[in-house]
Structure formats: C-alpha cells, structure tokens
Structure 1
C-alpha cells in the first residue's frame, strides 16, 4: 500500500490498496488471468460531504505511472470496454472501489496499478457520483486532485517463485525416471540370473513295460 499527500482545500491523506474481497493482498501477490482484485482508494476525512472519486486507472509494467506502455481500464470514472472492470462504489463516501481481472487483458509478467482521484465536496445541488449510464456531465465541487499507485502484482504464470518450483519439479521427474530405469534393470537382471541358475533340462519319460499273462477259458 502506497500513500500520497493530496494538496487542495486543506490536506488529505489518500491511500490505495489492493484487496481480495475485503482482505488486503500480501506483498508480491500473484494473480491468474481469471482472478479478480479489488482496488480501493480512500481518504482520511470525517466530513460527510467529502467524497472521493476515482477518475482514471491504468496499469504499467514498471512503477513509473508515466511509462510509455499503459493499459487503461477506467476513464472518466467509467470502465473501459473489454477490460473486465466493474465499479463497485465511486463518489459515495470517503472510499471508492472497483474490481478488475487485470491479467485477462494485460500480457505482462508484473504490473503496477495507478489511479487518478478527485476529492469532491458534495452539496444538495451537486452530487459526486459519476453517471456512466447516461454519460452526462454533472457539476461537481472538485476541491483537490491526486494520484496513487500500488504494486507490484505478479501474474501467477510468471511469479518468481514458480521458476524455482518448476526447476525442482524437473529434478524430481529426473530422479523418478532414474529410479524407474534402475528398477526395470534390476528385474531383468533377476530374471536372467534365475534362468541361468535353473538351466535347461531335457526330460525323457519311458513308459514302464508290464508283462501280462492271459488265460483263455473255453465255454
């Protein structure tokens, strides 16, 4: 979790963290293309009128938010098509959330997430909630803007620990192959040894001849 200070009408402490449901992701977490991650941006304000709005979010292969390789998944507070992004809450309170399957469309081994945020002061005549259905602009009292980042996030296929795991699996397969070969060789040697020990024998059976005496009686 990386914290930033946003200057505006006063000072706001903005945090961006990644969640698995409601639980923070551990450091150097890895995700598969089908796994969702929740992006939460929050500010430390106790005023009911203060809301935070996520305006833009994007991913980069480095920690530099201005990297030339950029994957936007939220623009103008609305999901970018075909990015598997869902806005869960935005402009409702001091915390906004969205979920995304980031590696379903980003083909990188590691990424960093960045979001541009707006601090909004809500009044009875001006809501802070973005309208992604009607795509209409609503007047919002934006009192500050800022940016927050988080990462790295590894794709599970490329996670550094997997290289060691795959190497260990290769060694195990080699050992199993050698043991299996040794077992087959031992069985063949045992069969050959037993065959030599028994040898080849020819058995000739001569039927025993019996002498029979016959007496014929006339009637």
Structure 2
C-alpha cells in the first residue's frame, strides 16, 4: 500500500506520511510478482483505526464490499479489479483531537482476469455491488501507518 500526494500517483510519500487534516490523500494497493495480464488486485474492504490493530473496536470504514462506504462520501475508488494495482482516495480525518495518528488496513484478493469480470459496479443504495467474478484467488490483509494528520496553523 503506497500513499501519494497527488491524483496522478506520481508523488509518493517517502518516510513519514504527514498530511493536513481534511485534505485528499491517494492510496495505491499494488500486487507485485504476478502477471498483470492474468490477475487483478481487488480491494474488498479498507478501514482506518487510531491504533496499529486492524481488529480495534474503534474503526472507520472507507471501502466495504468493494465499494466506497456509504458512511464516508469523501471516498472515491479510482481503479479496482482492473490491473495489479487498485487505487482510491479519501479526505484525511482524526478519531480524536488527542490522537492525530491513523492506521489503514485493507483486505484484498487476486482475481483471474477472465472475461473482464473482476471489477465491481458500485451503485447507490443498500445493495451497492453489482456482479463480480468467481475467479477469486489468495486473500491478504495489509496495513500502513501511522499516518499523521495535522491542522494548519494560521
């Protein structure tokens, strides 16, 4: 999982990831070592926690069931299930004023690219995901953090 400063995914963060609060941040989830013509990475879910524990009871959903969480209208899935790289963006936030640290966790899987059926069509409403390939391979969990969001000093 690679955080970027820009929508073109050309300026990755190196070292500490510190971003002004309420700014867009761009994430790429890339699977290396697979044939990108045969397999696509698919983000099933992503969520944020204030501690380095993906099972934390305090969490915020960003992506659910391969689609942006209905509770966060800042999430935009830019690419998912098309190539070996999936991309999304969201506005930075904090859980509490005392803790500017945020950890991101994602559950992903590989999908065999047959008949171009790895990408989901997200639509509004409770049944958001429409269609998905059954060519599902190798689920993994990945995490990144801490990322630090700060308020601009005037």
Gaps of 5+ in 1: 1-15, 163-219
Cross-structure match for 1:55:
44
Cross-structure match for 1:25:
13
Cross-structure match for 2:84:
94
User: Which residues of 2 match residues 1-219 of structure 1 at below 5 A?
Assistant: 16-21=1-6, 22=9, 23-44=11-32, 45-83=34-72, 84-103=74-93, 106-107=95-96, 108-124=99-115, 127-133=117-123, 135-157=129-151
Query: Aligned pairs, how many?
Result: 142
Scaled by the length of structure 1, what TM-score is found? 0.60
Cα shift at 1:106: 4.1
- Give the number of the structure whose alpha-carbon radius of gyration is greater: 1
Cα shift at 1:24: 1.3
Cα shift at 1:47: 4.2
Gaps of 5+ in 2: none
Structure with greater proportional helix content? 1
Find the aligned partners of 1:67 and 1:110 in 2 and give their Cα distance: 14
Contact residue 122 and residue 140 of structure 1 kept, 8 A? no
The residue matched to 2:122 in structure 1 has which SS? coil
Find the aligned partners of 2:120 and 2:43 in 1 and give their Cα distance: 9
Find the aligned partners of 2:70 and 2:142 in 1 and give their Cα distance: 23
Q: 1 or 2 for the larger relative contact order (CA 8 Å, sep ≥6)?
A: 2
Cα shift at 1:140: 2.7
Scaled by the length of structure 2, what TM-score is found? 0.83
Contact residue 92 and residue 149 of structure 2 kept, 8 A? no
Structure with greater proportional strand content? 2
Find the aligned partners of 2:14 and 2:150 in 1 and give their Cα distance: 14
Cα shift at 1:66: 1.1
